Amino acid sequence: MGNFLAGKAVAVTGAGRGIGRAVALACAAEGAKVVVADQGVAVDGGTPESGVAEAVVKEITAAGGEAVAVGEDISTMEGGRRVVETAVSRYGRIDGAVCAAGILRERMLFNMTEEEWDPVLATHLKGTFTVFRAAAAAMRRQRTGALVGFTSGNHQGSVSQANYSSAKGGVISLVRSAALGLHKYGVTANAVAPVARTRMSANVPMELTEIGEPEDVAPLVVYLLSERARQAEITGQVYTAAGPKIAVWAQPRELRAAYAEDSWTPERIAELLPGTVGTDPMPLLDRLKEMADAAARKDRPNA
Protein backbone atom coordinates (compact mmCIF):
# COMPACT_ATOMS: atom_id res chain seq x y z
CA MET A 1 0.00 0.00 0.00
CA GLY A 2 1.24 3.49 -0.88
CA ASN A 3 0.35 6.79 0.71
CA PHE A 4 -0.04 9.22 -2.20
CA LEU A 5 -3.74 9.59 -1.30
CA ALA A 6 -3.52 8.69 2.38
CA GLY A 7 -6.45 9.99 4.40
CA LYS A 8 -8.55 10.89 1.35
CA ALA A 9 -12.00 9.66 0.40
CA VAL A 10 -12.56 9.23 -3.33
CA ALA A 11 -15.68 8.32 -5.32
CA VAL A 12 -15.24 6.69 -8.73
CA THR A 13 -18.14 6.11 -11.14
CA GLY A 14 -17.94 3.36 -13.73
CA ALA A 15 -15.60 1.65 -11.27
CA GLY A 16 -16.81 -1.91 -11.83
CA ARG A 17 -14.85 -2.52 -15.02
CA GLY A 18 -12.15 -1.17 -17.28
CA ILE A 19 -10.53 2.16 -16.56
CA GLY A 20 -12.87 2.98 -13.67
CA ARG A 21 -11.93 -0.26 -11.94
CA ALA A 22 -8.22 0.39 -12.50
CA VAL A 23 -8.60 3.87 -11.03
CA ALA A 24 -10.51 2.59 -7.98
CA LEU A 25 -7.87 -0.06 -7.30
CA ALA A 26 -5.03 2.43 -7.75
CA CYS A 27 -6.64 4.97 -5.42
CA ALA A 28 -7.10 2.32 -2.76
CA ALA A 29 -3.51 1.12 -3.22
CA GLU A 30 -2.36 4.68 -2.55
CA GLY A 31 -4.26 4.91 0.73
CA ALA A 32 -7.64 6.34 -0.29
CA LYS A 33 -10.99 5.10 0.97
CA VAL A 34 -13.02 4.43 -2.15
CA VAL A 35 -16.68 4.58 -3.12
CA VAL A 36 -16.97 2.10 -6.00
CA ALA A 37 -19.97 3.31 -8.00
CA ASP A 38 -21.27 1.19 -10.87
CA GLN A 39 -24.60 -0.22 -12.01
CA GLY A 40 -22.77 -2.83 -14.07
CA VAL A 41 -24.52 -2.12 -17.35
CA ALA A 42 -23.51 -3.39 -20.77
CA VAL A 43 -21.71 -1.16 -23.28
CA ASP A 44 -25.05 0.15 -24.58
CA GLY A 45 -26.34 0.86 -21.08
CA GLY A 46 -28.61 -2.17 -20.73
CA THR A 47 -28.70 -5.37 -18.66
CA PRO A 48 -27.28 -4.09 -15.36
CA GLU A 49 -25.31 -6.46 -13.12
CA SER A 50 -25.04 -4.98 -9.64
CA GLY A 51 -22.33 -7.42 -8.60
CA VAL A 52 -19.48 -5.74 -10.50
CA ALA A 53 -19.05 -2.96 -7.93
CA GLU A 54 -19.12 -5.46 -5.05
CA ALA A 55 -16.45 -7.52 -6.78
CA VAL A 56 -14.10 -4.52 -6.91
CA VAL A 57 -14.78 -3.77 -3.25
CA LYS A 58 -13.74 -7.34 -2.44
CA GLU A 59 -10.52 -6.87 -4.39
CA ILE A 60 -9.75 -3.69 -2.46
CA THR A 61 -10.52 -5.10 0.96
CA ALA A 62 -8.58 -8.29 0.21
CA ALA A 63 -5.54 -6.09 -0.46
CA GLY A 64 -5.98 -4.32 2.87
CA GLY A 65 -7.88 -1.27 1.62
CA GLU A 66 -11.26 0.18 2.50
CA ALA A 67 -14.14 0.57 0.04
CA VAL A 68 -17.91 0.53 -0.30
CA ALA A 69 -20.07 -0.29 -3.34
CA VAL A 70 -22.86 1.91 -4.69
CA GLY A 71 -25.20 0.97 -7.55
CA GLU A 72 -26.84 4.32 -8.31
CA ASP A 73 -28.02 5.72 -11.63
CA ILE A 74 -25.74 8.75 -11.90
CA SER A 75 -27.79 10.17 -14.79
CA THR A 76 -30.22 11.36 -12.10
CA MET A 77 -29.60 14.13 -9.57
CA GLU A 78 -30.52 11.76 -6.75
CA GLY A 79 -28.07 9.14 -8.01
CA GLY A 80 -25.17 11.57 -8.20
CA ARG A 81 -26.00 12.94 -4.77
CA ARG A 82 -26.11 9.48 -3.24
CA VAL A 83 -22.66 8.61 -4.59
CA VAL A 84 -21.19 11.65 -2.86
CA GLU A 85 -23.28 11.27 0.29
CA THR A 86 -22.05 7.70 0.63
CA ALA A 87 -18.48 9.00 0.89
CA VAL A 88 -19.42 11.76 3.32
CA SER A 89 -21.54 9.57 5.58
CA ARG A 90 -19.11 6.65 5.52
CA TYR A 91 -15.78 8.46 5.62
CA GLY A 92 -16.67 11.95 6.83
CA ARG A 93 -15.58 13.77 3.68
CA ILE A 94 -15.20 13.66 -0.11
CA ASP A 95 -11.76 14.58 -1.42
CA GLY A 96 -12.01 13.34 -4.98
CA ALA A 97 -14.73 12.59 -7.51
CA VAL A 98 -13.79 10.68 -10.67
CA CYS A 99 -16.45 10.25 -13.37
CA ALA A 100 -15.50 7.35 -15.62
CA ALA A 101 -18.96 5.87 -16.30
CA GLY A 102 -19.96 5.70 -19.94
CA ILE A 103 -21.97 3.89 -22.61
CA LEU A 104 -22.01 3.78 -26.41
CA ARG A 105 -24.87 3.73 -28.91
CA GLU A 106 -23.37 4.10 -32.37
CA ARG A 107 -25.35 5.41 -35.31
CA MET A 108 -24.78 7.80 -38.19
CA LEU A 109 -26.19 11.25 -37.43
CA PHE A 110 -28.87 11.03 -40.13
CA ASN A 111 -30.16 7.77 -38.60
CA MET A 112 -29.68 8.52 -34.89
CA THR A 113 -32.79 8.39 -32.75
CA GLU A 114 -33.66 10.22 -29.58
CA GLU A 115 -33.31 6.90 -27.73
CA GLU A 116 -29.74 6.65 -28.98
CA TRP A 117 -28.89 10.28 -28.22
CA ASP A 118 -30.40 10.89 -24.79
CA PRO A 119 -28.96 7.98 -22.76
CA VAL A 120 -25.41 8.65 -23.97
CA LEU A 121 -25.59 12.33 -23.04
CA ALA A 122 -27.31 11.40 -19.79
CA THR A 123 -24.59 8.95 -18.75
CA HIS A 124 -21.48 10.82 -19.86
CA LEU A 125 -22.35 14.49 -19.52
CA LYS A 126 -25.23 14.66 -17.07
CA GLY A 127 -23.68 11.81 -15.08
CA THR A 128 -20.55 13.88 -14.67
CA PHE A 129 -22.60 16.94 -13.74
CA THR A 130 -24.68 15.19 -11.07
CA VAL A 131 -21.60 13.87 -9.26
CA PHE A 132 -19.61 17.09 -9.73
CA ARG A 133 -22.59 19.12 -8.49
CA ALA A 134 -22.89 17.19 -5.25
CA ALA A 135 -19.14 16.90 -4.74
CA ALA A 136 -18.52 20.60 -5.46
CA ALA A 137 -20.94 21.62 -2.71
CA ALA A 138 -19.16 19.43 -0.17
CA MET A 139 -15.69 20.43 -1.36
CA ARG A 140 -16.56 24.10 -1.19
CA ARG A 141 -17.37 23.67 2.49
CA GLN A 142 -14.14 21.72 3.02
CA ARG A 143 -12.13 24.29 1.00
CA THR A 144 -10.36 21.45 -0.77
CA GLY A 145 -11.00 18.67 -3.27
CA ALA A 146 -10.40 17.45 -6.79
CA LEU A 147 -12.77 16.67 -9.66
CA VAL A 148 -11.69 14.46 -12.57
CA GLY A 149 -13.88 14.05 -15.63
CA PHE A 150 -13.31 11.57 -18.43
CA THR A 151 -13.36 12.82 -22.00
CA SER A 152 -12.03 11.32 -25.23
CA GLY A 153 -10.11 12.25 -28.34
CA ASN A 154 -13.53 11.89 -29.95
CA HIS A 155 -14.41 15.36 -28.65
CA GLN A 156 -12.76 16.43 -31.94
CA GLY A 157 -15.65 14.81 -33.76
CA SER A 158 -16.77 11.34 -34.81
CA VAL A 159 -18.16 9.75 -37.94
CA SER A 160 -20.77 7.57 -36.23
CA GLN A 161 -20.78 8.70 -32.60
CA ALA A 162 -22.14 12.24 -32.65
CA ASN A 163 -23.83 11.56 -29.31
CA TYR A 164 -20.63 10.32 -27.66
CA SER A 165 -18.37 13.04 -29.05
CA SER A 166 -20.90 15.74 -28.10
CA ALA A 167 -21.01 14.41 -24.55
CA LYS A 168 -17.23 14.24 -24.31
CA GLY A 169 -16.85 17.78 -25.62
CA GLY A 170 -19.38 18.85 -23.01
CA VAL A 171 -17.36 17.19 -20.27
CA ILE A 172 -14.35 19.33 -21.21
CA SER A 173 -16.38 22.54 -21.00
CA LEU A 174 -17.88 21.39 -17.70
CA VAL A 175 -14.42 20.68 -16.29
CA ARG A 176 -13.13 24.09 -17.38
CA SER A 177 -16.17 25.78 -15.86
CA ALA A 178 -15.67 23.88 -12.61
CA ALA A 179 -12.01 24.90 -12.55
CA LEU A 180 -12.96 28.56 -12.90
CA GLY A 181 -15.84 28.50 -10.45
CA LEU A 182 -14.16 26.46 -7.72
CA HIS A 183 -10.61 27.80 -7.88
CA LYS A 184 -11.09 30.25 -5.01
CA TYR A 185 -12.33 27.42 -2.79
CA GLY A 186 -9.19 25.34 -3.26
CA VAL A 187 -10.89 22.80 -5.55
CA THR A 188 -9.31 21.62 -8.81
CA ALA A 189 -11.00 20.17 -11.89
CA ASN A 190 -9.29 18.35 -14.76
CA ALA A 191 -10.17 15.95 -17.55
CA VAL A 192 -8.46 12.80 -18.80
CA ALA A 193 -8.76 11.54 -22.38
CA PRO A 194 -7.58 7.93 -22.12
CA VAL A 195 -6.53 5.65 -24.95
CA ALA A 196 -6.77 2.15 -23.51
CA ARG A 197 -8.08 -1.31 -24.34
CA THR A 198 -11.62 -1.39 -22.99
CA ARG A 199 -15.05 -2.63 -24.07
CA MET A 200 -15.55 0.70 -25.87
CA SER A 201 -12.21 0.91 -27.68
CA ALA A 202 -12.66 -2.64 -28.99
CA ASN A 203 -15.33 -1.34 -31.37
CA VAL A 204 -13.23 1.46 -32.90
CA PRO A 205 -12.81 0.47 -36.60
CA MET A 206 -9.35 2.00 -37.02
CA GLU A 207 -6.13 0.99 -35.34
CA LEU A 208 -5.25 3.15 -32.35
CA THR A 209 -1.49 3.34 -32.77
CA GLU A 210 -0.94 4.68 -29.26
CA ILE A 211 -2.98 2.56 -26.89
CA GLY A 212 -2.33 1.18 -23.44
CA GLU A 213 -4.14 -0.74 -20.75
CA PRO A 214 -6.61 0.66 -18.20
CA GLU A 215 -3.90 0.36 -15.56
CA ASP A 216 -1.77 2.84 -17.56
CA VAL A 217 -4.39 5.56 -17.06
CA ALA A 218 -4.78 5.17 -13.30
CA PRO A 219 -1.49 6.79 -12.14
CA LEU A 220 -2.36 10.07 -13.87
CA VAL A 221 -5.78 10.12 -12.18
CA VAL A 222 -4.21 9.39 -8.80
CA TYR A 223 -1.82 12.29 -9.32
CA LEU A 224 -4.63 14.68 -10.29
CA LEU A 225 -6.45 13.74 -7.06
CA SER A 226 -3.39 14.37 -4.92
CA GLU A 227 -2.10 17.27 -2.87
CA ARG A 228 0.94 17.38 -5.16
CA ALA A 229 -1.27 18.32 -8.12
CA ARG A 230 -3.21 20.89 -6.10
CA GLN A 231 -0.01 22.51 -4.85
CA ALA A 232 1.20 22.71 -8.46
CA GLU A 233 -2.12 24.45 -9.34
CA ILE A 234 -3.01 21.85 -11.97
CA THR A 235 -6.57 22.75 -12.90
CA GLY A 236 -8.70 23.26 -16.01
CA GLN A 237 -6.48 20.89 -18.02
CA VAL A 238 -7.15 18.04 -20.44
CA TYR A 239 -4.57 15.26 -20.45
CA THR A 240 -4.23 12.20 -22.64
CA ALA A 241 -2.92 8.98 -21.11
CA ALA A 242 -1.96 6.33 -23.67
CA GLY A 243 0.39 3.59 -22.49
CA PRO A 244 3.71 5.29 -21.69
CA LYS A 245 2.52 8.64 -23.10
CA ILE A 246 1.04 11.60 -21.22
CA ALA A 247 0.06 14.67 -23.26
CA VAL A 248 -1.76 17.93 -22.62
CA TRP A 249 -4.37 19.40 -25.00
CA ALA A 250 -4.38 23.06 -26.03
CA GLN A 251 -6.79 25.53 -24.53
CA PRO A 252 -9.32 26.98 -27.02
CA ARG A 253 -8.09 30.24 -28.49
CA GLU A 254 -8.47 32.42 -31.57
CA LEU A 255 -5.99 31.68 -34.34
CA ARG A 256 -6.45 34.55 -36.79
CA ALA A 257 -8.80 37.48 -37.21
CA ALA A 258 -9.81 39.98 -39.88
CA TYR A 259 -11.69 43.24 -39.46
CA ALA A 260 -14.06 45.04 -41.81
CA GLU A 261 -13.69 48.77 -42.35
CA ASP A 262 -17.45 49.25 -41.98
CA SER A 263 -19.48 46.07 -41.89
CA TRP A 264 -19.20 42.64 -43.48
CA THR A 265 -21.25 41.44 -46.44
CA PRO A 266 -21.42 37.84 -47.61
CA GLU A 267 -19.62 38.85 -50.81
CA ARG A 268 -16.77 40.55 -48.94
CA ILE A 269 -16.39 37.54 -46.62
CA ALA A 270 -16.23 35.23 -49.65
CA GLU A 271 -13.43 37.35 -51.09
CA LEU A 272 -11.34 37.70 -47.95
CA LEU A 273 -11.96 34.83 -45.52
CA PRO A 274 -10.21 31.96 -47.38
CA GLY A 275 -6.94 33.89 -47.70
CA THR A 276 -6.96 35.77 -44.37
CA VAL A 277 -8.81 34.15 -41.48
CA GLY A 278 -8.70 30.83 -43.32
CA THR A 279 -9.38 27.54 -41.55
CA ASP A 280 -7.91 25.36 -38.86
CA PRO A 281 -7.43 21.96 -40.56
CA MET A 282 -9.47 19.07 -39.16
CA PRO A 283 -7.01 16.16 -38.84
CA LEU A 284 -9.69 13.48 -38.76
CA LEU A 285 -10.91 14.43 -42.24
CA ASP A 286 -7.70 12.97 -43.63
CA ARG A 287 -8.44 9.64 -41.96
CA LEU A 288 -12.04 9.23 -43.11
CA LYS A 289 -11.31 6.88 -46.01
CA GLU A 290 -9.12 4.66 -43.85
CA MET A 291 -11.85 4.56 -41.20
CA ALA A 292 -14.60 3.87 -43.74
CA ASP A 293 -12.66 1.01 -45.32
CA ALA A 294 -11.94 -0.53 -41.92
CA ALA A 295 -15.57 -0.22 -40.86
CA ALA A 296 -16.74 -1.83 -44.11
CA ARG A 297 -14.47 -4.78 -43.40
CA LYS A 298 -15.81 -4.89 -39.83
CA ASP A 299 -12.26 -4.69 -38.57
CA ARG A 300 -11.79 -4.56 -34.81
CA PRO A 301 -8.03 -3.88 -34.56
CA ASN A 302 -8.22 -2.74 -30.93
CA ALA A 303 -10.16 -5.75 -29.61
pTM: 0.89
Res 158: pLDDT: 73
Active-site residue among 164, 223, 239, 259?
A: 164
* pLDDT tens column, 177-231: 999 999 999 999 999 999 877 555 445 544 556 778 999 999 999 999 999 999 9
Asked about 164 being catalytic, the answer comes back as yes
Q: Give the residues across from 247 on adjacent strands.
A: 240
Longest dimension (CA), the chain: 72
Contact 31, 145 (CB under 8 A): no
Q: What is the pairing mode between strands 187-194 and 145-150?
A: parallel
Check residues 198 and 53 and name the one with the higher pLDDT: 53
Q: Strand 238-242 and strand 187-194: pairing?
A: parallel
Which residues have C-beta within 8 Å of that of residue 10, sequence separation ≥ 6? 27, 32, 33, 34, 35, 87, 94, 95, 96, 97, 98, 225
